[in-house]
Amino acid sequence: MASTGLQLLGFLLSLVGLAATVAATLMVEWKKQYQGKTHRIHEGLWMSCSGYERTTCELYQSLLKLPTEIQATRAVMLLSILLSVVAVLVSTVGMKCTHFLDGRPESKSITTMVGGILFIIAGLLTLVITSWYVSTIVHTFQVSHHLESYEFGKAVFVSWAGGLLTMAGGAFLSCRRCSRTESPESISVNHLLPSGSNQKSNYV
C-alpha cells in the first residue's frame, strides 16, 4: 500500500509538472520590457505582444529570424513535453493500480522505474533550458543600456516550477525498491513450509 501511494503521489506531481511546463511554453511573458509608464512589450516563444492598456499580439513569422535563445528554448521545451507524455504512457502501464502486466510483477516494476526516469530527464531539460534562457537575459541586461533591455517574466517561474515538480514526481516513480512487497510465489512457499514450532510438536 505504501508503494502504491508513493506511485500515485509521484504520478500526480509529474502530471502537475507537465501541465505547468505546457502552460509556460504557451505563455507570452518569457521576457518583458517597459517603455515609459504605460507601454509594455512582452515576448514569448511563439509570439510577442505590445501596447498600452490593451496589448496586441503577433505570431512570429519566420523561425530563422528569431534569436538563438528563443529557438533553443522552444525546441528543448517541446522535447521535454514529448518525453513527459511518453513517461505518462509508460508509467500508466507499470503502476500497481493498473491491470497492465499483472502477471509479470518484475516487468511492471521496471516499467514504472523507466517512466520515472523519463520524467526526471524531462524535468531536468526544462530546468536547464530555462536557467540558460534567464542567464542570456541577465547578461544582455548587464551589458546593454537598461532602458533598452528586457527582464525575464512570469513564464520563467512557471517553467522552473514545472521542471521541479516533474523531477520530484519522477523520483517517486523511479524509487521502486523503497517499499518492495514479497512476490506471490515467495508468500505461497512460506505458507507451505511448516514452521519450527510445528516441527517440534511432532517430536513431542
Percentage with pLDDT > 90 across the chain: 31
In a domain, 153, yes or no: yes
Give pTM, 2 decimals.
0.77
Residue 150 is predicted with a pLDDT of: 73
In a domain, 46, yes or no: no
In a domain, 22, yes or no: yes
CATH code (residue 8): 1.20.140.150
In a domain, 169, yes or no: yes
Over residues 73-109, the pLDDT tens digits come to 999 999 999 999 999 998 888 676 666 656 666 676 7
In a domain, 125, yes or no: yes
Percentage with pLDDT > 70 across the chain: 69
Measured between alpha carbons, how far is 131 from 121 in angstroms, rounded to an integer? 15
Q: According to the per-residue pLDDT averaged within each range, which of 27-36, 48-57, 96-105, 167-176 is highest?
A: 167-176
| Statement: residue 27 has pLDDT above 80 | yes
Residue 104 is predicted with a pLDDT of: 65
| Statement: residue 200 has pLDDT above 70 | no
pLDDT band per the 50, 70, 90 thresholds, residue 176 = low
Averaged pLDDT of the chain: 77
Residue 97 is predicted with a pLDDT of: 64
CB 70 within 8 A of CB 137: no
DSSP, collapsed to helix, strand or coil, labels residue 153 as coil
pLDDT band per the 50, 70, 90 thresholds, residue 182 = very low
Average pLDDT of the residues in 165-170:
93
Total number of domains in the chain = 1
Rg (CA), the chain: 25
Q: CA neighbours within 13 Å on the CB side: how many for 46?
A: 10
| Statement: residue 21 has pLDDT above 90 | yes
| Statement: residue 154 has pLDDT above 60 | yes
In a domain, 173, yes or no: yes
First to last CA, the chain: 41
In a domain, 130, yes or no: yes
Which candidate, 131, 126, 121, 120, places its Cα nearest to that of 167?
Answer: 120
| Statement: residue 174 has pLDDT above 80 | yes
In a domain, 54, yes or no: no
Residue partners of 88: CB distance under 8 A and separation at least 6: 14, 15, 18, 115
**Element of type H or E holding 9:** helix 2-26
Average pLDDT of the residues in 166-174:
89
Average pLDDT of the residues in 154-171:
93
* Domain with 141 in it: 2-29+67-180
Residue 33 is predicted with a pLDDT of: 78
